[in-house]
Chain A
Amino acid sequence: NAGVTQTPKFRILKIGQSMTLQCAQDMNHNYMYWYRQDPGMGLKLIYYSVGAGITDKGEVPNGYNVSRSTTEDFPLRLELAAPSQTSVYFCASRAGTRGFGQYFGPGTRLTVL
């Protein structure tokens, strides 16, 4: 199993550009999450999904959108990139709720200039 994969690893955007961060998992996990991690900080939840077709906002959803058309994929869309979105983005998945932790992807380092 590849686990949780994310592409790209690095990206530089100009202010106002848009992009999609890709996330895929091959563990048949229903639960998937997007976090951002600013330097020296913990993880902030952006969006999460409890299954295909179901998504919900986390703590910091503004400026982002998600979709979940399949169990495997959970892309994160950035519209009109701003310098405040410069961060490391982690995707994670989880098999269930009680008794299950999250498996994280390797992350995408995004810089908005």
Chain B
Amino acid sequence: QKEVEQNSGPLSVPEGAIASLNCTYSDRGSQSFFWYRQYSGKSPELIMFIYSNGDKEDGRFTAQLNKASQYVSLLIRDSQPSDSATYLCAVSLVYNFNKFYFGSGTKLNVKP
């Protein structure tokens, strides 16, 4: 079983809508959760991260954690065509903060 799983998509939303991306994780020792954006042919860039103790909002982005069901969500409000990219989820474990486990990413298309 993979540590982190994501629906590969593509997820298509119209401009201005809310895009909802999900990521499930298998290890209940997962402590920190990270969302990265990766444009085609480019390197990943960090959008935001949360701990296991709460949700977080940063501008148009909100990360939410559901510990009982073991998934983390990224909501993008007022989606823009420039948000079209692949979104990678990563987790690190409470017993090893040094390592990250990445999902394979969800491709988001925001249509004008």
Contact = CB atoms under 8 A, between A and B. Distances in A.
A64 B45 CA distance: 25
Interface string A40-73: 1111110010100000101000000000000000
Interface stretch (B14-22, B58-66, B75-83, B95-103): B95-103
B46 A103 contact: yes
Interface size class of A (residues with CB under 8 A): 20 to 34
Centre residue among B32, B42, B43, B92 by max chain A CB count within 10 A: B43
Contact of A40 (B8, B90, B98, B103): B8
A97 interface: yes
Nearest to A107: B43
Interface string A20-57: 00000000000101010000111111001010000010
Nearest to A48: B98
B44 interface: yes
Given A101-B46, A104-B43, A104-B44, A40 B104 contact: yes
Interface of A: 31, 33, 35, 40-45, 48, 50, 56, 58, 90, 97-99, 101-107
Best-surrounded residue of B4, B45, B92, B102 (most CB of chain A within 10 A):
B102
B98 A97 contact: yes
B34 A42 contact: no
A58 B102 CA distance: 12
A2 B36 CA distance: 20
B44 A43 contact: yes
A89 B28 CA distance: 29
A35 B43 CA distance: 11
Contacts of A43: 44, 88, 90, 100, 102
